[in-house]
Amino acid sequence: MRAAVLHGIHDLRVEELAAPEPDPRQVLLRIRRAGICGSDIHYFEDGRVGSFVVTAPFILGHEVTGEVAAMGEGVDGLCLGQRVVVNPARQCGQCDYCRSGRGNLCRRVRMLGSASTKPPTNGGFCQYLAIGAEQCFPIGPEIDDETAAMMEPFAVALHAAHRAGSLAGKRVLVTGGGPIGLLAIIVARTYGAATVALSDPVENRRAMAAKVGADAVLDPTAAGFSDEVARLTGDGFDVMFEASGSPPAVRQAFEVIRRGGTLVQIGSIAQPEIALPVNQLMVREIQFVGSFRYGNVFEEGVRLLAAGRVDLRPLVSDVFPLAQAPQALVVACQRDRVVKVQIDLN
């Protein structure tokens, strides 16, 4: 098979490799479409994602959809030729977190296309991928490959919405107009928010937010930012999704969230520590919660996509064939111009 293998910073090569074979309770997927995530960009640009450093060549990619090409022993509920979306995080299934339904917190999770393990775990920028059958969720013809490859980041936004609680009738602000922030806008509207706004200093991202359904777009650096928040909400937003990972955005959130409001931190912050007005958490009873990857939301996401309740296709900016995977990564690095770049392996 062919695969896009990362050898080092700005060194992605399309190579011929032996196709894997499925172990018991695994399936072999023929990958049809794969999305480029921010972590793929960091590995490509920096050779690391936080403390996860590239120690050996490996295949990038974890936002994938494909069809079952072969099955190992003991696989139930799937059949040859079936199209699926993939949860790329394989949990141990045995620890307290997994048994209590919070497998996203499992300490022994293995992530596709990640240098969190040694050697790194290969991902889905390849023609064939062996993966646990329990990580595959069937989809029908009403979900195209372009949309299916958006399922993993969509699951991040769905999980964040669950962490926030009911959004029905709420006034919601999303900070950060990257892919996850834009998906948070879509999810908030789907789940009944009365007002959904985006805060981002980049004009192109504000324009895309308006395109996917934001009621208002704000520039957090503008002189009239606070006045605009007051005009939209009166005393502040009920729910905020912080998807930028920017310390100033986190700090500013405490100025625009109302008493008793909920702040959900989705964005990953590069700095290990930042200063926050923690007394406001107490005095104003602000709920400040984290949201990491996704819980058990993939089936829910598939149902929403199959019912046509959400349209994720406007977020796909560019599509490249596997042979042009290096060029695809270069384009994906232009974050102020593109939202989601995908690789077509079909």
Kindly state whether residues 140 and 222 are assigned to the same domain: no
The chain-wide mean pLDDT, for the chain, equals: 96
Kindly state whether residues 71 and 92 are assigned to the same domain: yes
Query: Is position 10 within any domain?
Result: yes
Distance separating the N- and C-terminal Cα atoms of the chain: 13
Kindly state whether residues 72 and 203 are assigned to the same domain: no
What's 163's domain CATH number? 3.40.50.720
Q: What is the pLDDT of residue 271?
A: 84
Tell me the sheet residues that pair with 137. Answer: 85
Kindly state whether residues 196 and 145 are assigned to the same domain: no
Q: pTM to 2 decimals?
A: 0.96
The pair of three-digit structure tokens given for residue 132, joined into one six-digit string: 């646990």
Kindly state whether residues 22 and 146 are assigned to the same domain: yes
Rounded mean pLDDT, 309-335: 97
pLDDT tops 90 at residue 171: yes
String of DSSP letters for 137-190:
EE--TTS-HHHHTTHHHHHHHHHHHHHH---TT-EEEEE--SHHHHHHHHHHHH
Residue 212 pLDDT level (bands cut at 50, 70, 90): very high
CB 29 within 8 A of CB 69: yes
Cα gap 184→161, rounded to integer Å: 8
pLDDT tops 90 at residue 292: yes
Q: Residue 23 carries which side chain, given as an amino acid letter?
A: D
Residues in the chain: 346
Question: Which structural domain, as residue segments, surrounds residue 223?
Answer: 159-290
Q: Residue 151 carries which side chain, given as an amino acid letter?
A: M
What's 105's domain CATH number? 3.90.180.10
Kindly state whether residues 52 and 128 are assigned to the same domain: yes
Largest separation between any pair of C-alpha atoms in the chain: 63
Query: Is position 231 within any domain?
Result: yes
Query: Is position 303 within any domain?
Result: no
Query: Is position 21 within any domain?
Result: yes
The pair of three-digit structure tokens given for residue 151, joined into one six-digit string: 């399922």
Residue 335 pLDDT level (bands cut at 50, 70, 90): confident
Q: Residue 47 carries which side chain, given as an amino acid letter?
A: G
Kindly state whether residues 193 and 98 are assigned to the same domain: no
Kindly state whether residues 48 and 124 are assigned to the same domain: yes
Q: How many domains does the chain have?
A: 2
CB 163 within 8 A of CB 291: yes
